Amino acid sequence: MPTLADTWFLAVESLRKLGRGWNSYDALPVSEVSIRRATDFVLDWGATLPAPTVVPTAPGGVEFVWGGDHDQVELEFLPDGSVGLLIDVNGEIREMDLQSLDDPRVAELWPLVASLG
C-alpha cells in the first residue's frame, strides 16, 4: 500500500507530462529543476508533514499548498532553483524568496504546516 509520501511523490512526478500551454494559455512545461527540487523536498519531509495540494505554476514551477481559504502556506520550487514561500495567517501575508530550504526563516514554517494539515 502506498504511503502518504509515495502519493505526494507521484503527484510531483505526474507534472512531467505537462507540455507548453498546459493551462490553455502559454504556460511553460514544468522544469526538471523544479521537479528535482520538489522531489528532494518530498524525500526529506514527506513522511513528517501533511500532504499538500501539488500544482504546476505557469512559469514552469512546482507549488505545494497547505491550508485553505483562510490560513495557507505555499511553497514554490522555481525553474532557477530558488524557492518562493508565501505564508498567509489571519489575512497577514508574508512572502519570502529563498535560495535554500536551509534558510533559518523556514523553521517557522513546519509547525504552521502541521497545524494546517
CA distance 33 to 13: 12
Domain around 83? 4-116
The predicted-structure confidence for 11-64, as pLDDT tens digits, reads as follows 999 999 999 999 999 999 999 999 999 999 888 888 888 889 999 999 999 999
- Give the chain's domain count: 1
Residues 6 or more apart whose CB falls under 8 angstroms from that of 17 comprise none
Mean of pLDDT values over 88-105: 86
CB of 38 within 8 A of CB of 14? Answer: no
Confidence of residue 115 (pLDDT cuts 50, 70, 90): confident
CB of 98 within 8 A of CB of 84? Answer: yes
Q: How large is the angle between the packed helices 4-13 and 32-45, nearest 10 degrees?
A: 180
The predicted-structure confidence for 104-114, as pLDDT tens digits, reads as follows 877 778 888 88
